[in-house]
Amino acid sequence: MKHALPSLDSLKAFESAARQLSFSLAAEELCISKGAISYQIRKLEESIDCALFKRSIRQVYLTDAGQKLFHTTRRLFDDLKQTIEQLAPTNADHDVIIAATTYVALRWLSQRIARFNERHPDISIVLQHSVHEKGFKLQDVDVAIRWGTLTDTANSNLLFDMPMPLYPVCSPEFLKRFGLENVRGIPVDSLNSSPFCDMTLLCEDRDFDLWQQWFGVQNAPLLNPRRVISDANVRTQAAIDGQGWTMADALMSVELASGTLVSPFDHQLEGYGYTLMASSGRYVSKKSKLLRDWLTEDIEINLQ
C-alpha cells in the first residue's frame, strides 16, 4: 500500500530548519540553497495544509503545529540514525571476513594482511578457515581464497585466479633411505618401479587422487602405500620429517629454496591453483572493496 507521507527531502529540510530556527543554517547543514529549503518547507506545508513557521524579517518561529511535527520528526530521525549506526560495519566485531585455509593464511595471506593493516589500521579483519568444509557458504564471507580446479567458480564473483601447478616433493633424508641422493629429472613412470613403488604418498583425501592425476599413465594405477593427512600444513611437515612424498605448489618455495624439501620430478600437474572469489549476491562494503582491490592488485603485480 502506498503511504501518504510527505517526501523525505521536505521532512529533512523542516527538521533542520525547526531545530536551528534558521533557513540559512539549514541550507548550510544540508548543502543546498536557502531557496531550496524554503521550497521544500512550502511543499510540506501545502501537503498537510497547515502553516509550520511564523516568518519575520530576521527570524522564523514554529507554530503550534510546527512544534508538534518537530518533536515527532526529531524523535524519528534520532531513532533512524541510531538504527543505521547499529547496522554500520564500523560498529561490528569485524569489518571484513576472509575465508582461507590455514596453509594459505600462513604461507601467503598473513604477510599481505600485515602490509594492508599498516596502511589501514582501522580495518578489522577476521580469518575463517572452514573454506573447504561441507557447510561453508560463500555468501557468509567477504572474500574467499579456495584451492581447486581453476574453472570451479559457480555462483561466485571471480576476482582473480592464481595458477599453481602441483609437483611431488620429499625430504633429502627420505630419498637417502632408499639409496637415492641428489637425483634430478626422474621420469614420471618411475613411480611404478622400484624403489619408488614402495614409497609412501601423502594425500589429502583417499577419494580424491591427485597422485593418479599427476601420474597420468593410462591403465597403470599407482600401488604405492598412501597416508591420508587432511591438513596441508601437517602434510608438509610430515614430508619434511621423511614420512613420504607430498604434492607441493609455489607456496612451498621457502622449503625448496633451503633444500628442506626437494623436487626431483620434472613433471607437473596443471589446471589447479587458488581462486580469489566472493559471493555475487553479497553486499560489498567500502572496507571490503578496499581489501579486495588491494589483494587483486598485489596478485597482479606478483604474477607479472
| β-bridge pairing 226-228 and 201-203 | parallel
Residue 158 domain-assigned (yes or no): yes
| β-bridge pairing 167-169 and 246-248 | antiparallel
- Of 87, 113, 135, the domain-final residue: 87
Same domain, 40 and 187: no
Q: Largest Cα–Cα distance in the chain?
A: 104
Same domain, 198 and 246: yes
Give pLDDT tens digits for 19-30.
Answer: 999 999 999 999
For a pLDDT cut of 70, what percent of the chain falls above it? 91
Same domain, 173 and 261: yes
Look at residue 264 in the predicted model and tell me its pLDDT.
93
Same domain, 83 and 121: no
The whole-angstrom separation of Cα 28 and Cα 103 is 54
Q: In CATH, what number is assigned to the domain containing residue 127?
A: 3.40.190.10
Q: In CATH, what number is assigned to the domain containing residue 16?
A: 1.10.10.10
Helix, strand, or coil here: 33?
A: coil
Residue 3 domain-assigned (yes or no): no
Same domain, 34 and 123: no
Residue 233 domain-assigned (yes or no): yes
Smallest Cα–Cα separation from 273: which of 171, 158, 129, 169?
Answer: 158
C-alpha dihedral over 160, 204, 196, 218, to 10 degrees? -70
Residue 1 domain-assigned (yes or no): no
Least confident of 36-40, 53-57, 253-257: 53-57
Domain of 37 in residue numbering reads as 8-87
Give pLDDT tens digits for 116-156.
Answer: 999 999 888 989 888 888 888 888 888 899 888 887 555 56
- Of 87, 110, 140, the domain-final residue: 87
- When divided into structural domains, the chain yields a total of 3
- Of 46, 70, 87, the domain-final residue: 87
Residue 209 domain-assigned (yes or no): yes
Look at residue 84 in the predicted model and tell me its pLDDT.
76
Residue 240 domain-assigned (yes or no): yes
Distant-in-sequence, close-in-space partners of 119: CB < 8 Å, separation ≥ 6: none
Residue 2 domain-assigned (yes or no): no
Give pLDDT tens digits for 46-77.
Answer: 999 999 999 887 788 999 999 999 999 999 98
Q: Hey, how many other C-beta atoms are within 10 angstroms of the C-beta on 138?
A: 20
